[in-house]
């Protein structure tokens, strides 16, 4: 075959690689650009929704800062979203439309359900789930989210304590106040751990604090706040402590302050379940309840594991196995 023919065949193959619909390089690039533009719009919608939930409104400056883009880039984005009827500009304020709020709720729901899945099922470290959920939140349809929600047991809170929007777009108001605003010496419960900025969140996790934990303040000064859960002391800088939200203990959980976790129950002790930790959500909570792990139920360790984990327990005449981290979320009183 002549060189000319080889050149012609090569040229045709290159053209096909670039221009063939759906599989050519040009088609792949266009799909990539569409996905990038969609992610930018959805990130903008989340910012507007977050501001409105705080009782404020976004501005071109706040939007540019959140998306890390120049002012010259944010104006075309705002115009594009106005054309899609996702937002309205009122002076320097940006307001979500009904359609914009619906779409924003969908993205927030996707993000928080993914965080729940990554924590409960994939068992990913808490400090890594936010970034991974952010990468996955843009690709799910409403039907796929419904399936994920059902598979997780319809959880109401994400692993940080943020409420998960319902399919209809209902979003409950987050409870609690910043730890720095708590003024009494009475016990309180951690109801939310803010994951941004990431550095502060990592310090909270490194200290050992967790969602649903009962703590109280031992001492405070301008440099640090000293906390305890009855066994361990925790020290946080006030700037970091402000990212921990707390609330008063409900009457049903006052007993928890004097209880121990099932993981702490000694081999020869029997216990009575007081409450399941707030951190137990979705499918895990449903599984615990299906196993009969309800308040008032008697439970005790049985059949020791040489390695210590998982541990076998006798409950309602049945033998079940629980990992140490699962048993730590079940609060009991020794009997």
**Domains, the chain, ranges and CATH?**
7-96 (1.10.10.10), 177-249 (2.30.30.90), 254-334 (2.30.30.90)
- In the predicted structure, residue 22 carries a pLDDT above the cut 80: no
20 confidence band (pLDDT: 50, 70, 90): low
pLDDT reading at 326 higher than 70: yes
Count of positions (residues) in the chain: 335
| Neighbouring C-beta atoms of residue 194, cutoff 10 Å | 17
Number of H helices, E strands in the chain: 11, 14
Work out the pLDDT band at 94, boundaries 50, 70, 90.
very high
Predicted pLDDT at 309: 81
How much is the pTM? 0.72
- Range from 17-26, 103-112, 139-148 carrying the lowest mean pLDDT: 17-26
pLDDT value of residue 21: 60
Q: If you ran DSSP here, which 8-state letter would residue 294 be given?
A: -
How many other C-beta atoms are found inside a 10 Å radius of the C-beta of residue 152?
20
According to the model, what pLDDT value does residue 8 have?
59
Average confidence (pLDDT) over 270-298? 88
- What confidence tier does 277 reach under pLDDT thresholds 50, 70, 90? confident
Q: Which of 275, 161, 162 is nearest to 211 (CA)?
A: 161
- How are beta strands 244-248 and 311-315 bridged, if at all? unpaired
Percent of the chain with pLDDT over 90: 56
What percentage of the chain's residues is helix, strand, coil (to nearest 5)?
A: 45, 20, 35
> Could you tell me the pLDDT band of residue 335, with boundaries at 50, 70 and 90?
confident
- Place 249 in a pLDDT band, splitting at 50, 70 and 90: confident
Which run of H or E residues covers position 308? none
pLDDT in tens, 112-147: 999 999 998 888 999 899 999 999 999 889 999 999
Q: What is the percent of the chain where pLDDT is above 70? A: 87
pLDDT for position 280: 83
């Amino acid at each position: 075959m002549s060189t000319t023919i080889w050149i012609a065949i090569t040229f045709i193959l290159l053209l096909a690689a670039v221009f063939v619909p759906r599989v050519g390089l040009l088609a792949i690039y266009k799909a990539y650009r569409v996905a990038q533009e969609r992610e930018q719009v959805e990130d903008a919608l989340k910012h507007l929704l977050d501001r409105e939930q705080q009782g404020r409104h976004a501005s071109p400056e706040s939007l540019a800062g959140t998306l890390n883009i120049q002012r010259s880039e944010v104006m075309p984005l705002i115009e594009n979203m106005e054309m899609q009827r996702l937002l309205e500009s009122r002076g320097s304020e940006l307001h979500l439309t009904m359609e914009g709020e619906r779409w924003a709720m969908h993205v927030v729901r996707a993000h928080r359900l993914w965080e729940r899945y990554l924590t409960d099922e994939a068992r990913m470290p808490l400090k890594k789930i936010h970034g991974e959920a952010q990468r996955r939140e843009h690709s799910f349809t409403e039907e796929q989210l419904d399936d994920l929600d059902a598979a997780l047991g319809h959880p109401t809170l994400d692993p940080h304590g943020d409420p998960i929007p319902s399919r209809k777009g209902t979003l409950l108001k987050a409870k609690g106040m910043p730890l720095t605003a708590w003024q009494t010496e009475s016990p309180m419960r951690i109801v939310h751990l803010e994951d941004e900025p990431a550095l502060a969140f990592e310090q909270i996790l490194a200290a050992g604090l967790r969602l649903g934990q009962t703590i109280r303040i031992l001492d405070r000064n301008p440099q640090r706040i000293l906390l305890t859960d009855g066994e361990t002391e925790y020290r946080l800088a006030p700037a970091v402590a402000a990212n921990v939200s707390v609330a008063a203990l409900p009457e049903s959980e006052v007993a928890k302050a004097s209880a121990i976790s099932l993981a702490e129950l000694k081999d020869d002790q029997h216990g009575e379940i007081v409450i399941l930790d707030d951190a137990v959500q979705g499918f895990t909570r449903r599984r615990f309840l299906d196993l009969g792990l309800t308040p008032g139920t008697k439970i005790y360790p049985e059949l020791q594991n040489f390695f210590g984990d998982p541990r076998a327990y006798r409950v309602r005449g049945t033998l079940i196995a629980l990992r140490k981290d699962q048993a730590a979320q079940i609060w009991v009183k020794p009997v």
